[in-house]
Amino acid sequence: MNKKILLDIIGGLLIVLVVVVGYKLSPLLLPQSDLSIAPDPSCNVQQQACSVALPGGGSLVFSVNTQPIPLVKPFEVKVEVRGSSAKNVAIDFAGVDMEMGFNRPQLAERSAGIFIGEATLPVCVTGHMTWQATVLLETSDARIAVPFRFVTG
């Protein structure tokens, strides 16, 4: 068999392998949800806790312990689920105008309905950065995404 044909076949198989691996790993990188709930746009997590009503009753309250939210310094995040049960809570931090890498801390349930974790935001070279913190809440019925926007710098 010709060496060039063999190299072409190996190259083609490597491309197929990369596509399959990327497809299989994409759920880890992209937040999956059954429904998304828009919070009150006037609420700023840089200044106060923000809440949103959950479908079927109850509410979700998102807060940070350090305001304003610091860059390159760990800070505590807290999600309180009231009137509903949550199995799993994570927060996906993403730059709105610039890709800032994967940043999704998993929160631990400290007491009934109260989930706490630690996050660190990277510094942006432009100084001013708009972030979206998407709270990913998993209940027995659905996966819910609640995006909160804030600005640092």
Q: Which residues contact 95 (CB under 8 A, 6 or more apart)?
A: 124, 129, 130, 131, 132
CATH number at residue 83: 2.60.40.1930
User: pTM value?
Assistant: 0.75
Same domain assignment for residues 2 and 69? no
pLDDT tier at 153, thresholds 50, 70, 90: confident
Q: Report residue 56 CA to chain centroid gap.
A: 23
Q: Which two tokens stand for residue 64?
A: 């940070």
Q: Report residue 98 CA to chain centroid gap.
A: 15
As a whole number of angstroms, the distance between CA 12 and CA 77 comes to 45
Q: Name the residue range of residue 4's domain.
A: 1-30
Q: Please state the domain count of the chain.
A: 2
User: Between these two residues, 39 and 82, which has the higher pLDDT value?
Assistant: 82
Residue pLDDT, tens place only, 50-83: 999 988 888 999 999 988 888 889 999 999 999 8
